[in-house]
Amino acid sequence: MTEQGRGIFLLVPRRLGTELATASPAGSARGHGEATRVPLRLKIFVCLASLLLCCLVAAALVTLARATPGFTSSDLAILMFATFLAILAELKPTRFYFGPHGGSEVSLSMIVILPVAVLYGWPLALLLSVLAIATTDIHAGKAWYKIAVNAANYALSTFLAGTTYALLTAGTLFSDALPLSLAAAAVMGLLFFLVNTSFVGTGLALIYNLPMGSTVLSNASLVAPVFFAMIGLSVTATLLWTVHPAAALLLIPPMLATKLSYEHCARLRQETDNFLVALADAVDMRDPYTAQHSHRVAQLSEAIARRLGVPADDVSTLAAIARVHDVGKLVVRDAILLKDDVLTPQEYAEMKGHVEAGIRILDHISLYRDSLEILAQHHERLDGSGYPRGLRGDEIIFPARVLAVADAYDAMTTDRPYRPAKTPEEAVRELYRVAGKEYDLNVVRALEDELIARGVLKGPVVPAALEAARQEAEAEAHAAARTPRVVPLPRVGSGRNPS
């Protein structure tokens, strides 16, 4: 994944090569110079994908061998040119952005693959797709298992889509029953989309240990608009191809112009994002005590949200806004920001203004506009003691609660001129002490679990409140043990009968 999850791992037609770079079926992967154990489920996934690829390629070759030869030299030239276009499309993907947090690279090879499946049958389309992806992945120097998984994805999507089209049209030529052919081609494209995104969602869930269902749905929902546009283009290319193969080339100039224009816009968007991140880093660098604060908070917020089962797209949104959550401190004077003593009430009031300043800065950037409420609420507290609006309880959205805990933990574990840093144990104890009052208890527990997983904590931290209660109970018991016990005796009558 890209930094802070801003770049969602999607590709249309979708490939898993980038993600598999973090997981090698050979048993280890190298990230930051350390070996990482690969889950058995991922090894099984790669093996099954490789086996599936072999079976589908074999089925395509057998089907072609049994078919009656009917290809002319012009057909062969057309297929060779289509293969060239598919390879070119894979070599030159376009980066699309689907939300406030990032996007994915999109290959236009589907616009070539589907028309070949319609006009020449699924076996040739399958072999073309496998050849295109294998050629580009080998050119990129990818490992065999990445090539196998990517090729299996293309092969399975093409096989199911192509055979479905053949069943729906019963072998009728595309131009002989145009309404039926158009409907069947649309169904074919939709099935290609569903198989492709489901395959990729499954792989991503296995790689990142994410919930299967939500990962598949998130993957599909994000790429759906682009995919549907590509289905329309592929049907249009087929129509033009039936008029004359060269007519399909009429789509290339407008597609190229659109691609270049969009890449320019995407580049501007990425540069804007990078500029804002640089501003956030500049804020951190103004104070040597808070260097890399925003980066750490974003990473921790993302990890906590994942542990709490937050959907992948919401996790990325949270990580993106967390990366720039302190950008409003640009308007805070150095005399206050760098003061080596506790702030006065007037100075603290000015410091609190950084939240609204950050909102004003980011409100002009569409990339963050939908996530500004997270920034606006990350200093709010459950008991209403926070700022700037004094929200309480359920008025505070959950992503803001996550950011609040991550921000508070990093602040407490960082040295300041007026106090030393707390240890991770002390910081977590403090968060537990005010959990339920200021911070969400579930978020604090998820933070503790994440720190244990990272090896920062050796084990669960006893909440300070519970420890104080235990100590108080022990003190009371100890005091009671040292106090002489007075045992009340039953009252005994005088023994005299009443007169």
Same domain, yes or no: 34 and 97: yes
pLDDT, residue 14, reads 47
- Whether residue 286 is predicted with pLDDT greater than 80 in this model: the reply is no
Domain containing 461 equals 270-475
Same domain, yes or no: 231 and 320: no
Same domain, yes or no: 233 and 377: no
Same domain, yes or no: 45 and 189: yes
- Please check whether residue 263 lies inside any domain of the structure: no
Q: State which H helix or E strand residue 36 sits in.
A: strand 34-37
Same domain, yes or no: 61 and 181: yes
Kindly report which listed range (21-30, 174-183, 330-339, 426-435) carries the lowest average pLDDT score.
21-30
Mean pLDDT on 440-469:
83
pLDDT, residue 412, reads 95
- Please check whether residue 254 lies inside any domain of the structure: no
CATH number at residue 424: 1.10.3210.10
**pLDDT: which is higher, 200 or 53:** 53
- Please check whether residue 264 lies inside any domain of the structure: no
**pLDDT: which is higher, 193 or 259:** 193
Residue 347 exposed, middle or buried by CB count within 10 Å (0-12, 13-18, 19+):
middle
- Please check whether residue 498 lies inside any domain of the structure: no
Average pLDDT, the chain: 81
CATH number at residue 90: 1.10.1760.20
Same domain, yes or no: 430 and 359: yes
Same domain, yes or no: 229 and 278: no
Domain boundary among 205, 224, 243: 243
pLDDT, residue 62, reads 94
- Please check whether residue 281 lies inside any domain of the structure: yes
Same domain, yes or no: 277 and 162: no
Instruction: State the Rg of the chain over Cα.
Output: 31
Q: Please compute, for residue 56, the number of CA atoms within 13 A of its CA located in the half-sphere on the CB side.
A: 29
pLDDT level of residue 456 (50, 70, 90 thresholds):
very high
Q: State which H helix or E strand residue 402 sits in.
A: helix 398-412
- Whether residue 422 is predicted with pLDDT greater than 80 in this model: the reply is yes
pLDDT level of residue 466 (50, 70, 90 thresholds):
low
Mean pLDDT on 412-417:
87
pLDDT, tens digit (0-9, with 9 covering 90-100), for 51-110: 999 999 999 999 998 886 677 888 888 889 899 989 988 888 776 654 434 455 678 888
Same domain, yes or no: 229 and 286: no
Report the number of distinct structural domains present in the chain. Answer: 2
pLDDT, residue 351, reads 92
The C-alpha atoms of residue 446 and residue 440 are separated, in whole angstroms, by 10
Mean pLDDT on 487-492:
43
pLDDT, residue 205, reads 82
pLDDT, tens digit (0-9, with 9 covering 90-100), for 310-366: 887 788 889 989 999 998 998 899 888 888 888 899 999 999 999 999 999 998 887
Kindly report which listed range (36-45, 116-125, 322-331, 449-458) carries the lowest average pLDDT score.
36-45
pLDDT, residue 243, reads 83
pLDDT level of residue 30 (50, 70, 90 thresholds):
very low
pLDDT level of residue 477 (50, 70, 90 thresholds):
low
- Please check whether residue 257 lies inside any domain of the structure: no
pLDDT, residue 219, reads 75
Mean pLDDT on 37-57:
88
pLDDT level of residue 206 (50, 70, 90 thresholds):
confident
Same domain, yes or no: 310 and 419: yes
- Please check whether residue 300 lies inside any domain of the structure: yes
Same domain, yes or no: 115 and 52: yes
Domain boundary among 228, 243, 258: 243
The C-alpha atoms of residue 372 and residue 139 are separated, in whole angstroms, by 42
CA 334 from centre of chain: 36
Same domain, yes or no: 318 and 239: no
pLDDT level of residue 482 (50, 70, 90 thresholds):
low
- Whether residue 119 is predicted with pLDDT greater than 50 in this model: the reply is yes
pTM, to two decimals: 0.63
**pLDDT: which is higher, 241 or 410:** 410
Mean pLDDT on 240-250:
82
Please give the share of the chain, as a percent, with pLDDT higher than 90: 42
**pLDDT: which is higher, 205 or 121:** 121
- Please check whether residue 482 lies inside any domain of the structure: no
Highest mean pLDDT, choosing among 158-167, 207-216, 464-473:
158-167
